[in-house]
Amino acid sequence: MILSRRTVIASSMALLAAPAMAATPPGLAAYISSPRRSPANVKRDKYRHPAALLGFFGLTPTQSVLEIEPGGGYWTEILAPYLKAKGHYTAALPSDPAAQAEVAYFLKKLGADPRDFSQVSTIPLSATQSLGDPASYDFVLSCRNLHNWLASGTAPAVLAEIFASLKVGGVFGIEDHRASTATPQDPKAKSGYVREDYAKKLILAAGFQYVASSEIGANPRDTKNYPDGVWDLPPSLHQGTVNRAKYLAIGESDRWTLKFVKP
């Protein structure tokens, strides 16, 4: 039976539950608790809430998943082995010359663990280059990247490429550091913080349909007013030993989490 676009989108929205009630994707718990994950990444679970976040986005083990700019591979360690048998994991790596040390680290990580990462695909991320064939992915994940695209002026172009890469009814799940609504959005997001309403407007302009938001990543201790912006908080801790106890007590940033579909 061929489903209409409206039916596909309605089905995706019907699968949503309240954030606290979001079901852990089938079989995912074993990969989150795997001893093969790096201890440094495991320590961040209390801030990143992998089961709740991926449950909110509706991950399943048969999906073709694209992660945008995976950084040091926090989500890769969970998603790549989880999807290896029945789905597929692809990482879009930044083309920016300033990010090449990070890319080299990520590729070295993949090469060091063929058991978990032998089937991972990598593609370049560029505002002028497609993310593969159109309608390739069931789910695109972006965690704390939008502020970088604002800084480089590439946000509309990257969002357009993400939209083109998704199948109809496919999910775009995104989170970033939440800016206060008491101040206007800096178009370059120099502090690393992005207003949730500003992000939503940009993403809707790219053609997406909004589904829901979640407070999975909320942190009310984050006052968002630090000398070097969000990078003064863990894990970056740009201030070094200055006020270190204060920043550690705050923890990682306050984050919005948004779910969209491609209509």
Return d(Cα 87, Cα 64) in angstroms, integer: 5
- Among 5, 151, 144, 129, smallest CA distance to 68 is for 144
Per-residue pLDDT band for 102 (boundaries 50, 70, 90) equals: very high
The reply to whether 20 falls in a domain is no
The reply to whether 26 falls in a domain is no
Return d(Cα 228, Cα 192) in angstroms, integer: 9
| Residue 237 Cα to chain centre, angstroms | 21
Mean pLDDT of 198-212: 98
Helix (H) or strand (E) holding 107: helix 100-112
**Total domains in the fold of the chain:** 1
pLDDT at 23: 86
Contact 23, 56 (CB under 8 A): no
The reply to whether 25 falls in a domain is no
Here the CATH number for the domain that contains residue 47 is 3.40.50.150
pLDDT tens digits along 129-181 = 899 899 999 999 999 999 999 999 999 999 999 999 999 999 999 999 999 99
First to last CA, the chain: 19
Cα-only R_g, the chain:
18
Q: Determine the structural domain holding residue 67 and report its residue range.
A: 5-12+38-261
The reply to whether 147 falls in a domain is yes
Helix (H) or strand (E) holding 168: strand 166-177
The reply to whether 256 falls in a domain is yes
Return d(Cα 42, Cα 144) in angstroms, integer: 18
Per-residue pLDDT band for 17 (boundaries 50, 70, 90) equals: very low
Residues in the chain: 263
Per-residue pLDDT band for 32 (boundaries 50, 70, 90) equals: very high
Provide the mean pLDDT of the chain. 93
Per-residue pLDDT band for 128 (boundaries 50, 70, 90) equals: confident
pLDDT tens digits along 209-250 = 999 999 999 999 999 999 999 999 999 999 999 999 999 999
pLDDT at 21: 53
Question: Does a cis peptide bond (omega within 30 degrees of 0) precede residue 235?
Answer: yes
Full strand arrangement of the beta sheet holding 88-94: 121-125, 88-94, 64-68, 137-143, 166-177, 255-261, 209-214
